[in-house]
Amino acid sequence: MAQKAVKTLAAANTKRLNTTLAFTLGIHLVFWLFRALVFRSSFTRKSLLLYLALASPQLFINFLFEKQSRPVNAPDGSIKRAGEDLEAKGLTEYLWDVTYWTYGVLVLVTFLGDWAWIFWGIIPVYSVWLAWSTYSGMRGGYQDAAGVPQPGAATSKRQAKLEKRGGQKVQYR
């Protein structure tokens, strides 16, 4: 059972990347088919430029995921590199949000028209909100839901109980 974690990560990455690739191709193919066959009159240079400008970040993100997270196998069949974890928190999570939101906007644009591209503008607003909340959290010293600063792992359960009862106070330096 050597490298079980590597094998598990490689299998999970492969499955998720294959699903994402199929979904991306399907969404974009439906978009182009509807634009070419059903809504032929709305197929203009403006709509092409909007598509290229607003769908290309999602396509770039998919390329990035493929490049960084697709497992690489050695010639003997063993796993040479499992790739980056696609379930990671932080930036990877945000990139998945952009991908899924772009899917939704593409579906809306497919059936409602070019004016629905305005929904894609929510992504930069969400980015600014995330950046601000991260900045204010770091500046404020990471507080809990009640707004009470957390000193970290410095207090044990016993110390917390004593402080709650008003007993022995622990002074932090």
- Mean pLDDT across 68-74: 86
| pLDDT value for 100 | 93
Query: Hey, what amino acid is at 9?
Result: L
Please write the tens of the pLDDT for every residue from 30-61.
Answer: 998 888 887 676 667 877 888 888 899 999 99
**What burial class does residue 30 get, using C-beta atoms within 10 Å of its C-beta: 0-12 exposed, 13-18 middle, 19+ buried?**
middle
- Which positions ≥6 away from 85 have C-beta within 8 Å? 9, 13, 69, 92
Q: Which two tokens stand for residue 100?
A: 């899924």
Cα–Cα distance for residue pair 33/39, rounded to 1 Å: 9
Q: Tokens at residue 99, please?
A: 């991908």
User: In percent, how much of the chain has pLDDT > 70?
Assistant: 82
How far apart CA 72 and CA 70 sit, in angstroms, is 7
Mean pLDDT for the chain? 81
Domain definitions of the chain by residue range: 4-148
Alpha-carbon dihedral sign for residues 99, 105, 111, 114? negative
* pTM of the complete model: 0.69
CA 23 to CA 27: how far, in whole Å?
A: 6
Distance separating alpha carbons of residues 55 and 77, to the nearest angstrom = 36
